[in-house]
């Protein structure tokens, strides 16, 4: 787990999420964080950039990355049927320094 993923995980843990798996392999895809809070299963794609001069880390998320996260999440869920009844959500977390910005993936 890299520094950005650790920072994002801390952010989510402070908000009541529990880590189910980090850097999870799901078919040909890797999911940065798979979290759970109550009946919500959250798959998070983490992007980090060091310094404001390089732009917003969330700019690195394009349509293809969203498709890969969605496909990976569905594969992970199929391999973990014990979580099948949960509400699945996808997010991107952009980490810049100590700041974590979260956006839903459509």
Nearest CA to 32 among 59, 63, 68? 68
Q: State residue 65's pLDDT score.
A: 93
Task: Give pLDDT, residue 50.
Answer: 73
For the entire predicted model, the pTM comes to 0.92
What is the number of structural domains in the chain? 1
Domain hosting 36: range is: 3-104
Q: What per-residue confidence (pLDDT) applies to 54?
A: 66
CA 33 to chain centre: 5
Helix (H, G, I), strand (E, B) or coil at 32: strand
Q: If DSSP codes are grouped into helix, strand and coil, which group holds residue 5?
A: helix
CATH number at residue 42: 3.40.1350.10
Per-residue pLDDT of the chain (106 residues; tens, 9 = 90+): 899 999 999 999 999 999 999 999 998 999 999 999 999 999 999 999 776 666 788 888 899 999 999 999 999 999 999 999 999 999 999 998 888 999 999 7
**Cβ neighbours for 49, distance < 8 A, ≥ 6 positions apart:** 55, 56, 57, 60, 94, 95, 96
Distances (CA, A) of 32 to 16, 98, 100: 18, 18, 15
**pLDDT at residue 68, as a whole number:** 95
From 90, 95, 91, 4, select the one nearest 56 (Cα to Cα): 95
């Amino acid at each position: 787990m890299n520094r950005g993923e650790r920072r994002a995980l801390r952010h989510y843990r402070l908000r009541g999420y529990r880590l189910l798996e980090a850097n999870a392999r799901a078919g040909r895809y890797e999911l940065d964080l798979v979290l759970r809070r109550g009946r919500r299963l959250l798959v998070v794609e983490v992007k980090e950039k060091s310094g404001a001069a390089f732009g917003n880390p969330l700019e690195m998320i394009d349509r293809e990355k969203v498709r890969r996260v969605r496909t990976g999440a569905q594969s992970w869920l199929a391999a973990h049927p014990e979580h099948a009844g949960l509400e699945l959500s996808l997010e991107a977390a952009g980490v810049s320094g100590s700041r974590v910005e979260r956006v839903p993936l459509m």
